[in-house]
């Protein structure tokens, strides 16, 4: 196979770094590049070994910096772009919606404009896979699942920003004929997820014998999708998805948050050799957050027709995830304290500086 260039925006983050690692194994003949600003949720250490080995090329830039993004795209001229750079934490969006508008809406439009310009001036044909979320559909009533034709009813500023980004992507396909497909995964979990999200936070706190805070009753239902299954789904959509179409990615099984936390607590106790129930006793119900959706549920028939379905059960995925976090306490300490940032920026100082501002170098 001839070498293709694959760009992953947000490739040092949770799903992005897992996708990069998956892609190097699944498609070893491809050239892979990462564009990431390395904010609180993007960790150079997630892919440092791949950069050292030469398997991945790294560009540090803000997805909303039009000049930098255009320059990087012109250098790479990618065949395929996975756009995963985004702010994703609902609680943070409630505190500061403007940041989500900048990263998720402006960042997406900057990328689209840069790709359109690349096609018009350099005649480069690029497929863009936009990462959306199931949250754009809003809460699902009992016994109902949303398919790709369901209307958007976002509840949080985060979901609203992703919905807006989706509309810009869909409009770019219709207006300019750009090759764009949209992916709507359910709640992801797995290794390298920043520990402000539910599952890694519960693992970290349970291991440290700290409170396990749960919003409200904890009966909010989510479809938990293991990140490796997501990567395989994105691969399938990228290669077989129809341009301009939306594809839901999920397991088809919803589980209340409380049940997930209890399972994590028991697994942590077992692996640390503690009496069963030690961690469960730390579960603390706190005031629910504003606009908290009670249930998300997706119909994934459309992507199944492309040959994809989730392979990892929640039990299997949690076992792998709990074990990974317990095996990597240094990673947890680094990302929560910020020491990783100083370490990697000193270690890779010249490389980061070149990537941070490449279009202004002499």
Which residues are identified as catalytic? 134-135, 158
Integer Cα distance of 94 and 161 in angstroms:
12
Alpha carbon distances (Å) from 319 to 199, 264, 267, 268? 12, 8, 7, 9
The backbone region for 281, taken as left when phi is positive above 0, alpha when psi lies in -120 to 50, beta otherwise, is alpha
Q: Using alpha carbons, select from 59, 63, 61 the residue that is nearest to residue 51.
A: 59
Residue with tokens 């497929």: 127
Q: What is the CA radius of gyration of the chain?
A: 20
Dihedral sign, CA of 164, 170, 175, 181?
positive
62 and 68 in contact (C-beta within 8 Å)?
Answer: yes
Long-range pairs for 63-67 at CB < 8 Å and ≥24 separation?
63/9, 63/10, 63/35, 63/37, 63/103, 63/107, 63/108, 63/110, 63/111, 64/102, 64/103, 64/106, 64/107, 64/110, 65/110, 66/110, 66/113, 66/114, 67/359
Residue 277 has, within 13 A of its CA and on its CB side, a CA count of 1
Q: What are phi and psi of 279, to 5 degrees?
A: -75, -35
Tokens of 59: 């560009």
């Amino acid at each position: 196979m001839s070498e293709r260039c694959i760009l992953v925006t947000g490739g040092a983050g949770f799903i992005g770094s897992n996708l990069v690692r998956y892609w190097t194994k699944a498609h070893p003949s491809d050239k892979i590049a990462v564009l990431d600003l390395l904010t609180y949720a993007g960790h150079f250490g997630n892919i440092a070994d791949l950069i050292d080995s030469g398997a991945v090329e790294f560009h540090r830039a803000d997805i909303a910096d039009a000049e930098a993004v255009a320059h990087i795209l012109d250098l790479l001229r990618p065949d395929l772009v996975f756009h995963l750079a985004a702010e994703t934490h609902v609680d943070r969006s409630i505190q500061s919606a403007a940041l989500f508008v900048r990263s998720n809406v402006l960042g997406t439009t900057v990328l689209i404009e840069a790709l359109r310009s690349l096609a018009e001036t350099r005649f480069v044909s690029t497929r863009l896979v936009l990462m959306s979320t199931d949250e754009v559909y809003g809460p699902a009533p009992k016994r109902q699942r949303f398919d790709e034709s369901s209307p958007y009813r976002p509840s949080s500023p985060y979901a609203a920003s992703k919905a807006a980004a989706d509309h810009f992507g869909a409009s770019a396909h219709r207006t300019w004929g750009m090759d764009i497909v949209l992916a709507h995964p359910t709640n992801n979990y797995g290794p390298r997820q920043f520990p402000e999200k539910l599952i890694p936070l519960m693992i970290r706190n349970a291991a440290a014998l700290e409170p396990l805070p749960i919003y409200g009753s904890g009966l909010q239902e989510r479809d938990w999708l293991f990140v490796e299954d997501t990567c395989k789904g994105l691969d399938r959509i990228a290669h077989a998805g129809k341009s301009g179409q939306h594809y839901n990615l999920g397991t088809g099984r919803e589980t209340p948050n409380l049940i997930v936390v209890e399972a994590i607590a028991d697994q942590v106790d077992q692996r640390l050799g503690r009496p069963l129930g030690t961690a469960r006793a730390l579960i603390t119900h706190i005031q629910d957050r504003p606009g908290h959706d009670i249930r998300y549920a997706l119909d994934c028939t459309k992507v199944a027709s492309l040959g994809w379905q989730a392979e990892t059960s929640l039990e299997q995925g949690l076992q792998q995830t709990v074990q990974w976090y317990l095996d990597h306490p240094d990673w947890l300490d680094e990302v929560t304290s910020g020491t990783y940032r100083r370490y990697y920026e000193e270690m890779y100082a010249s490389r980061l500086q070149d990537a941070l501002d490449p279009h202004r170098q002499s």
